[in-house]
Amino acid sequence: MKTPVNNNMICDIHTGSCDTVTSTVLPKVKMIYFTDPICSACWGIEPQLRKLKLEYGDHFEIEYRMGGLLKSWQSYGGNDVSGPASVADHWEEAAKHYQMPIDANVWREDPLQSSYPASIAFKAAQLQDEQKAIKLLRRLREMVFVEKKNIAKGGNILQAAEECGLDTQQLMVDYAGRATAFFEEDLEITKQWGVRGFPTIYFTSEDGSKLKLYGSSSYEQYETALLQLLPGITKKVLKDDDAIFQSYSTIAEKELAVIRETGLDKAIHDLHLMKEAGTFSKISTPYGSLWKKIA
């Protein structure tokens, strides 16, 4: 139901009267996204989430919760991997499955000992600016999945923060202070919601209705969940690439293919043409490439 809001007034000099104009605030769905910076399946659903934001971004907001995938190898209790070498094997399988660019050699050359530092950095960034924090999360993922950079290291975190326009001095202060408590709050909420793996996304409406999607899901599943809670909403039609590249300065081939609803080969071909035209640069991995818009 639309909520009426009287916040405008129009005055007519001919009649000498001033009348209020009733506007409406569209209801929104909240997506509570339990994730982790090094979650390969979360990297795998970036194409679907980016398309959802472009087409239905006016109708939902995402609340990011860091779930704490890897505290340390000493305390890790997962059944899928047993150490850095097995993560490398897992990431190579994930790259083939999701068709997203991944260089798993980070786990062989400079393995992460924990995902907590990057998670706390994200919470510190949220204390400054939510949108910049979201950019930071994306940038950290690009670093670890594509560029083989250990995002548990402070230098790499600060580099990413600076690139995203964050105040790095304040980030360090908050990282050492309030951000840890906010991260621990996320871990507690993850337990309260019974989340046992990532990605887990709850779609919640203003009337209390709730839907859950666990693991990798197709774009149609995300769209269906949104429309179940907000029937009748319409999506924006993307007439050309301008909307895509205005929103995202980096893009994977699979992301462009999903957003455009074209084949992967077509996306790769077009991105190569853009590179030849001097509008994009390319970072290659053993499994696909990440393309960066040249300012």
Q: Mean pLDDT of all residues in the chain?
A: 92
Q: What are the pLDDT digits (tens) for 43-63?
A: 999 999 999 999 999 999 999
CA angle 205, 206, 209 (to 5 degrees): 45
CA distances from 94 to 44, 104, 253, 268 (A): 8, 10, 15, 19
CA 133 to chain centroid, in Å, comes to: 10
Amino acid at 99: Q
Instruction: Report the CATH architecture of 242-293.
Output: Orthogonal Bundle (1.10)
How many percent of the chain have pLDDT more than 70? 90
Give the span between the Cα atoms of 166 and 187, in whole angstroms.
24
pLDDT at residue number 25: 64
DSSP string computed for 179-222: HHHHHHHHHHHHHHTT--SSSEEEEE-TTS-EEEEESS--HHHH
pLDDT at residue number 101: 98
* Three-state secondary structure call for residue 157: helix
| Structure confidence at residue 86 as a pLDDT band (50, 70, 90) | very high
Q: How many CB atoms lie within 10 A of CB 208?
A: 6
- Contact predicate 276/92, CB 8 Å: no
Q: What are the pLDDT digits (tens) for 246-293?
A: 999 999 999 999 999 999 999 999 999 999 999 999 999 999 999 999
CA distances from 52 to 31, 44, 58, 182, 247 (A): 12, 14, 10, 27, 12
- Contact predicate 294/281, CB 8 Å: yes
Q: What are the pLDDT digits (tens) for 3-46?
A: 444 445 555 555 555 655 544 566 799 999 999 999 999 999 99
pLDDT at residue number 58: 96
* Three-state secondary structure call for residue 237: coil
Q: What are the pLDDT digits (tens) for 222-250?
A: 999 999 999 999 999 988 899 899 999 99
Give the span between the Cα atoms of 102 and 93, in whole angstroms.
10
pLDDT at residue number 15: 56
- Contact predicate 162/124, CB 8 Å: no
Closest CA to 45 of 287, 252, 270: 252
